[in-house]
Amino acid sequence: MNKKSEENKEVEGVVETEAVDDSIDTESLKENFVQQGKWLRLLWMMGFSFIYSISLWVLWLIVTVQFLFVLLTNSPNKNILRASSGFRNYMVQILDFITYRSEDKPFPFSDFPS
């Protein structure tokens, strides 16, 4: 029984030591929190998220018009295909920016994707 209590004390000591070693550096946390660039990026992300939500309506409009062309002519309209391809790429640009896959701001701050 004495041996088990010694083992428990050793395990508790290891846990206590690990807890002390994993403490958070509050100074670097404060510095990261107050960096203006991160907050500015949040504002850009919110703005582009709003633009993305509007672009979903435009996407549905494109889908509807293209469906009507296919329904009436039995083939998709090539101009709408070209426009929808660029529009899709623009939506991907927005998603890449707001999910931190890219640091480049989407159109109008960069070229419209082709």
Q: What is the pLDDT of residues 69-114, one digit of tens each?
A: 999 999 999 999 999 999 999 999 999 999 999 988 898 777 877 7
Q: What pLDDT, on the 0 to 100 scale, is given for residue 9? A: 55
pLDDT of residue 23: 72
Pairwise CA distance, residues 107 & 90, whole Å: 7
Q: What is the sign of the dihedral through the CA atoms of 75, 80, 82 and 87?
A: negative
Over 90: is that where the pLDDT of 15 sits? no
**pLDDT for position 28:** 77
Q: What is the pLDDT of residue 39?
A: 87
Q: If DSSP codes are grouped into helix, strand and coil, which group holds residue 50? A: helix
- Which candidate, 10, 2, 88, 28, places its Cα nearest to that of 52? 88
pLDDT at 97: 94
Q: What is the mean pLDDT of residues 15-36?
A: 67
pLDDT digits (tens, 9 = 90+) for 30-81: 777 777 788 899 999 999 999 999 999 999 999 999 999 999 999 999 999 9
Per DSSP, the chain holds a count of helices (H) and strands (E) of 4, 0
Among the listed residues 92, 86, 88, 94, the one whose alpha carbon sits nearest the alpha carbon of residue 112: 86
| Selection from 51, 63, 59 nearest residue 87 by Cα | 59
